[in-house]
């Protein structure tokens, strides 16, 4: 099975590739070749940085069309961090005219200022998956008395899908927010599964099984 990790000049590509290999997905590979993405069974869009600069890079490289075409094919697609945020319609971050891919209707918001709350959120936090979510199956710590499985976050903005049915998991950081989403064949995580130890590897394994 081939998993295309889409290279558009940004994102934590090698760590994502290594994490897929670690869960037995030796067919995961990094590529900026549209033909290679088109021939893959699954695709992943990692991301680091700001929403507007990411969208600019996607459009300059033509990767925005590659992503939309892959999603339209119905094959499983995974966005990670900013790769999740650009799936939404728009964002409060950066250029106010910057538009996302609009795969999932909604907007990306900045965390509100609250005393004692550091922005960006950097570190580990709890995931609360909706019942029967395929990504949330059999995660380490799921039945823990400490509150559940934890993942690694690094972000100042969070996704707010228009339709609550698109929310696959929530997390609390001053406010409850969408930490994973799911719409049809599209999945995405605000956290970094490739940096989240056994929990993150289990999530990537669950995605590989979709």
pLDDT in tens, the chain (210 residues): 999 999 988 777 999 999 999 999 999 999 999 999 999 999 999 988 899 999 999 999 999 999 999 999 999 999 999 999 999 999 999 887 789 999 999 999 999 998 989 999 999 999 999 998 999 999 987 665 567 899 999 999 999 999 999 999 999 999 999 999 999 999 999 999 999 999 999 999 999 999
Distance CA 125, CA 122 (A): 9
**Radius of gyration, alpha carbons of the chain:** 16
Sign of CA dihedral 9, 92, 157, 129: negative
Residues 6+ apart with CB under 8 A from 15: 192, 194, 195
Residues 6+ apart with CB under 8 A from 68: 101, 103
Q: Determine whether 194 is an active site residue.
A: yes
Residue 111 is classified by DSSP as P
Tokens found for residue 196: 């989240």
Catalytic residue among 155, 159, 178, 192: 192
Domain housing 13: 3-209
pTM of the model: 0.95
Based on the structure, what is the number of domains in the chain?
Answer: 1
Distance CA 121, CA 169 (A): 17
What is the enclosing helix (H) or strand (E) of 160? strand 157-161
Catalytic residue among 81, 93, 178, 182: 81
Catalytic residue among 17, 93, 159, 194: 194
- C-beta separation of 153 from 196 below 8 A: no
> For residue 93, what is the domain's CATH number?
3.40.50.880
Neighbours of 87 (CB within 10 A): 28
Q: Determine whether 159 is an active site residue.
A: no
Tokens found for residue 154: 């690094």
């Amino acid at each position: 099975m081939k998993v295309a990790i889409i290279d558009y000049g940004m994102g934590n590509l090698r760590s994502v590739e290594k994490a897929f290999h670690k869960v037995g997905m030796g067919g995961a590979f990094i590529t900026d070749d549209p033909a290679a993405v088109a021939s893959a069974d699954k695709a992943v869009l990692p991301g680091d940085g700001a929403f507007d600069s990411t969208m600019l890079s996607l459009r300059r490289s033509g990767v925005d069309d590659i992503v939309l075409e892959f999603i339209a094919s119905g094959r499983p697609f995974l966005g990670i961090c900013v790769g999740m945020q650009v799936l939404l319609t728009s964002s409060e971050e950066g250029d106010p005219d910057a538009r996302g891919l609009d795969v999932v209707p909604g907007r990306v918001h900045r965390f509100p200022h609250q005393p004692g709350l550091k922005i960006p959120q950097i570190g580990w936090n709890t995931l609360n998956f909706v019942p029967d979510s395929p990504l949330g199956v059999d995660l380490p710590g799921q039945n823990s008395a400490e509150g559940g499985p934890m993942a690694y976050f690094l972000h100042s903005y969070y996704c707010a899908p228009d339709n609550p049915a698109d929310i696959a998991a929530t997390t609390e950081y001053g406010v409850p927010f969408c930490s994973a989403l799911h719409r049809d064949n599209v999945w995405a995580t605000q956290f970094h599964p490739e940096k989240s130890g056994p929990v993150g590897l289990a999530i990537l394994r669950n995605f590989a099984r979709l």
